[in-house]
Amino acid sequence: MSLRDFEMRGDFIRRHIGPDDEQVGAMLDTLGLRALEDIVPRAVPDDIVSHTPLALTDTISEQAVLGYLRTMRARNRVYVSMIGMGYHGTLMPEVIKRNVLENPGWYTAYTPYQAEISQGRLEALLNFQQVIIDLTGLPVANASLLDEATAAAEAMAMTRRVSRAASMRYVVDGDCHPQTIAVLRTRARHFGFELEVGDPATLVAAGACFGVLLQYPGSSGAVRDPGAVIEAAHAHGGLATVAADPLALVMLRAPGDMGADIVVGSAQRFGVSMGYGGPHAAFFATRDEHVRAMPGRIIGVSVDRDGQPALRMALQTREQHIRREKATSNICTAQVLLAIIAGFYAVYHGPQGLATIANRVHRLARIFASALGSIGYEVLTPEFFDTFTLHVPHRARRLAARAREAGINLRVIDADHLGIAFDETINRAVLRTLWTVFTRDAEDELNIREIDAQLEQCLPAELLRSTPILTHPVFSRYHSETEMMRYMRRLARRDIALDRAMIPLGSCTMKLNAAAELQALSYREFADLHPFVPLDQAQGYQQMFAELESMLCDLTGFGAFSLQPNAGSQGEYAGLLVIRKYHEVRGEGARDVCLIPSSAHGTNPASAAMAGLKVVLVACDEDGNVDVADLAAKVTAHSERLAALMVTYPSTHGVFEAAIREVCALVHDHGGQVYMDGANLNALVGICRPAEIGADVMHVNLHKTFAIPHGGGGPGMGPIGVQAHLMPYLPDHPVVDGVNPAAGPHGTIGTVSAAPWGSASILSISWAYIAMMGAQGLRRATLVAILAANYIAHRLRDHYPVLYTGKNDMVAHECIIDLRDIKARTGVSVDDVAKRLADYGFHAPTMSFPVADTLMIEPTESENKREIDRFCAAMIAIRAEIAAIEAGTADRIANPLKNAPHTHRLLIAEQWDRPYSKAEAFFPMGLDEEDKYWPPVARIDNVYGDKHLHCSCLPVEAYADE
Amino acid sequence: MLRYTTDHEWLRTEDDGTLTVGITDYAQEQLGDIVYVELPEVGREIAAGELLVVIESVKAVGEIKMPCAATVRAVNETLADQPELVNSDAAGSGWLARIEPADASALEALMDDKAYQDYLGSL
């Protein structure tokens, strides 16, 4: 053996891919295959297999990647950023960082659709909603949106749905953050709204409008009373939205108390690092009467079968997975992990702690503004919270440059104006440094103590908060670190995340999120960069973006990527806008029909509707494939107006459709563009390139295929790849130049996310994953993912019918098992099976998508064969339980399926009146008592919860038994 | 006499010439447990085929379209607190709205009881 053999160069590949050679061999044997490479000819249509090898380098070891990340990190320079504009320095409490951000129990969880096994993060999210309810003064809040700018855009869209005003005019405060205005402009264009930006009082007085957006405090820092404008908007039958800063709201009067109908904002400064743009949780609150028009996921309180309080997502009928193009929004993945962190930040500090922080920030800002005033500087915003604007004729750039020399970034508003924003991280020392920037005369002393003693309140009394916040006991109980640590641990152990068992969710790709991939998130040089710092401070990031883009281009075959879209849904929206723009530039702007197969994910039609496209459904044939004859008829019928086809590949049915090239060609022949949904890219990496198959645009869910953890429902990232002819139209940004270097004379689609490169910090995860896997590892991962799915299909086939297969009876990377017949004969539903799996310690597969009453299973490459076998054994054991009902030996109602999940309460109850044994109920399949997962609640009553909507923390009495 | 639409709505002509609209038992069964009914404003004129009522269950949404151009004369206010009436008594106390058709003959094109039963059989 040579030295090379001892160097373990491919070590990460075998750590990431669950089954070892022996297990791969066993699975291949089961399927009658000889070698892993035989998967390709067996399962993948010949005409889509790529013949150009990847240009990616070979695998790099964990240590080498960490070393490389450290060199990138060294090229990012952390200044004190006092830029503001919605991004502020903050201190993530170390106890939260260690126990949540760095704890796979939190970051590897999935969106809490299976509520019974998600009670921990649902409680954490309820805390977040309570914080937002208290701060905004509005009674309902959702469990996060993607960023402040898109939250404002969602508010505008919701306003149109709710408002009775006939006008299509929407007024936007000129003192909103520029990125918010840019995102609104993009959205308004395709909704047909007339956006007017300027002084809101004048604009609202000038004529009818359906709504108004105000920033509170303004981007300039000015705190203005929004009451009069809100009243004027109401007089038009319009609604008022206030984009607010949560720390300011700790001190300021709640917008809800001043008539605001919607309040949005970013919870970033509640302990979530700026991360060069994200991820952070945006919040959204409104009045009770508008709750059904609200976008995003709402956590609500219901009861379980035993009458115990239990949490789950409420009012899901508003959402895209049910209402498709009529949904309130296309949002799907949100920012759950970050909302949880912000909620814990409030739990950790409590009302007193938050007030102390807000007062400190406010005081430091006032001391500095006062000091500047005393040496002749003109402060243009006398009433402010933490940010003020200075009038410095012709000197703004020079002063900002001097500040940078001192390690501080200020906001250059224009040649004559500077903005200075204070935050939790600023202290006396920073003030002294900053002072040297503004004073030339060494005689001018900054006497902090003296100024502090003389300050008078600068905020008008009527704008100061008078109502208490965070009065719920959860915000007062856990202020010692010991208590805080135990609270977070107690919640985490209620949930099934990847740290406990496989999560076989089809189309979600719950693969390993390796520790080394997450390392950069904890580096200050990645975490503490403001998204609008000069590029020379972010060279490490810029290098990573360039490398990641070129990796993604290599893997997909596209010409360029935009890293701006913050989630798959955003990628869809951005991609469709790019297609619209392309048609417009060619003088074919009338093309507005978007074809979507009936099997598509609900986000597809919802995104198309947002892009102003008309959705026309294409049928699927009985094998689940796009019905090519129907497609041919539809492209012909809509030939003149065909804008795009949205298609998922492999299909949402988990099949490599053989006709995909023909499908793409049909669309192209009629002048349309092909939008490919990248949700299932994990079946293609290293084998096929979507751009070679015929896709013009595609979003890549980095949180599926490229190892960003799901975070319990976000963060996600949905960058889009495009063919060369679409590159000029990719998103740009109003604050940072050069975000789309290919932008040409026809302009771009505008801005789709608040930050120039979306949730920049988590891009490091995908970068590290691709670097460590290398070309060889990525291809192997794909092959093993397909192998594992086919192995499961094979093992379960005799017990449950496998609904759809492709070439040689093979599935792609996931398989659908059909329970429709079982339901008809026994009354056992997919819900029953899903909840019963919790008794066996598993998270359920995807339920009833894309076909009702089926389960879609995706094992990914990361699951070891032992775990896969354990899952198959559970499914087979459950099938036997169903068989007992069929045979009449088990009751149709009083059986372990209908009663699942079985809680510890039931075990210790005096009476056991079930016709099956406790062993069958709690320890089926001879489960190990030591490792048993105990569902914290029994089956949740969704009907009760939706009829009695309650989306704030439970009343105190509910905590009595703790 | 009751008339039916292919969207599983029933319509009953009242003495004053208005029509009471509801959904059929088949429709409520398809929707499952109903948790919310969004009713239109009284006095609103709605064109044929436009949205009259939205019915939400936990997992599905039913959109009840206007079978003919009409003005909304009354809505079933009790559904605000007891949406489950649509499940338990779809043909009676679970009625949705009372409408005044622009053209009384609009009903004639709709199915009678037998035709609706045949239609259900064909699904």
Residue B59 in contact with partner chain A when CB distance is under 8 A: yes
Residue B80 in contact with partner chain A when CB distance is under 8 A: no
**pLDDT tens profile A180-206:** 999 999 999 999 999 999 999 999 999
**pLDDT tens profile A241-280:** 999 999 999 999 999 999 999 999 999 999 999 999 999 9
Evaluate if residue B57 carries a pLDDT over 80. yes
Alpha helices in A94-210 (DSSP H): 94-96, 104-107, 119-136, 148-162, 178-191, 200-206
Distance (Å, whole) CA A477 – CA A486: 11
- Which amino acid does the sequence have at A80? V
Residues of chain A with C-beta less than 8 angstroms from the C-beta of B60 = 317, 322
Look at residue A1 in the predicted model and tell me its pLDDT.
Answer: 86
Task: Identify from A161, A317, A823, A847 which residue to disrupt to test chain B contact, counting B C-beta atoms within 10 A and taking the largest count.
Answer: A317
**pLDDT tens profile A294-331:** 999 999 999 999 999 999 999 988 888 778 888 888 99
Q: Which two tokens stand for residue B95?
A: 């009625």
Q: What average pLDDT does chain A have? A: 96
The C-alpha of A943 sits at a distance from chain B's nearest C-alpha, in angstroms, of 6
Look at residue A956 in the predicted model and tell me its pLDDT.
Answer: 66
- Which amino acid does the sequence have at A341? I
Q: pLDDT band at A457, cuts 50/70/90?
A: confident
Evaluate if residue A954 carries a pLDDT over 90. no
In the numeric block, the tokens 């704008």 are attached to A463
**pLDDT tens profile A48-62:** 999 999 999 888 899
CB atoms B58 and A942 under 8 Å: yes
CA angle A66/A485/A349 to nearest 5° reads 100
Look at residue A958 in the predicted model and tell me its pLDDT.
Answer: 60
First-to-final CA distance of chain A: 61
The C-alpha of A824 sits at a distance from chain B's nearest C-alpha, in angstroms, of 14
- pLDDT above 90 covers what percent of chain A? 94
CB atoms B59 and A292 under 8 Å: no
Look at residue A322 in the predicted model and tell me its pLDDT.
Answer: 78
Q: What is the DSSP string of A59-126?
A: P--HHHHHHHHHHHHHHB---EEE-BTTB------HHHIIIIIT-HHHHTPPPTTSGGG-HHHHHHHH
**pLDDT tens profile A470-492:** 999 999 999 999 999 999 999 99
CB atoms A316 and B60 under 8 Å: no
Which chain B residue lies closest to A290 (C-alpha atoms)?
A: B38
How buried is residue A14: exposed, middle or buried, by Cβ count under 10 Å (0-12/13-18/19+)? middle
Look at residue A372 in the predicted model and tell me its pLDDT.
Answer: 96
Q: What number is the average pLDDT over the span A617-646? A: 96
Residue B57 in contact with partner chain A when CB distance is under 8 A: yes
Residue B51 in contact with partner chain A when CB distance is under 8 A: no
CB atoms B59 and A316 under 8 Å: yes
CB atoms A317 and B57 under 8 Å: yes
Which among B35, B38, B59 is the nearest to A947, CB-wise? B35
Residue B42 in contact with partner chain A when CB distance is under 8 A: no
Q: What number is the average pLDDT over the span A848-855? A: 93
Look at residue A959 in the predicted model and tell me its pLDDT.
Answer: 54
Look at residue B109 in the predicted model and tell me its pLDDT.
Answer: 85
Question: Around Cβ A21, how many Cβ atoms within 10 Å?
Answer: 9
Task: Identify from A941, A944, A946 which residue to disrupt to test chain B contact, counting B C-beta atoms within 10 A and taking the largest count.
Answer: A946
Q: How far out from the chain centre does Cα A807 lie?
A: 35
Judge whether B115 and B2 are in contact, CB under 8 Å. no
Evaluate if residue A960 carries a pLDDT over 60. no
Residues across chain A: 962
Distance (Å, whole) CA A876 – CA A796: 7
Q: pLDDT band at A961, cuts 50/70/90?
A: very low
Q: What number is the average pLDDT over the span A79-106? A: 98
To which H or E segment does residue A384 belong?
none
Residues of chain A with C-beta less than 8 angstroms from the C-beta of B59 = 316-317, 322
CB atoms B83 and A943 under 8 Å: no
Which among A292, A326, A943 is the nearest to B58, CB-wise? A943
Residue B61 in contact with partner chain A when CB distance is under 8 A: yes
Q: Which two tokens stand for residue A360?
A: 């400190």
Evaluate if residue A152 carries a pLDDT over 70. yes
Q: pLDDT band at A962, cuts 50/70/90?
A: very low
Fill in the DSSP letter of residue A408.
E
Look at residue A300 in the predicted model and tell me its pLDDT.
Answer: 96
Which among A292, A316, A943 is the nearest to B33, CB-wise? A943
The pTM is what?
0.96
Question: Around Cβ A449, how many Cβ atoms within 10 Å?
Answer: 9
Q: pLDDT band at A957, cuts 50/70/90?
A: low
**pLDDT tens profile A399-453:** 999 999 999 999 999 999 999 999 999 999 999 999 999 998 777 889 999 999 9
Residue B22 in contact with partner chain A when CB distance is under 8 A: no
Residues of chain A with C-beta less than 8 angstroms from the C-beta of B84 = 947
Residues of chain B with C-beta less than 8 angstroms from the C-beta of A316 = 58-59
Distance (Å, whole) CA A80 – CA A409: 6
Evaluate if residue A907 carries a pLDDT over 90. yes
Who contacts A146 (Cβ-Cβ below 8 Å, separation ≥6)?
A282, A331, A334, A335, A566, A567, A570, A714, A753
Task: Identify from B37, B59, B81, B85 which residue to disrupt to test chain A contact, counting A C-beta atoms within 10 A and taking the largest count.
Answer: B59
Distance (Å, whole) CA B35 – CA B55: 8
Residue B56 in contact with partner chain A when CB distance is under 8 A: yes
- pLDDT above 70 covers what percent of chain A? 99
Residues of chain B with C-beta less than 8 angstroms from the C-beta of A317 = 56-61
CB atoms B36 and A942 under 8 Å: no
In the numeric block, the tokens 């489950």 are attached to B84
Residues of chain A with C-beta less than 8 angstroms from the C-beta of B56 = 292, 315, 317, 946
Residue B83 in contact with partner chain A when CB distance is under 8 A: yes
**pLDDT tens profile A350-383:** 999 999 999 999 999 999 999 999 999 999 999 9
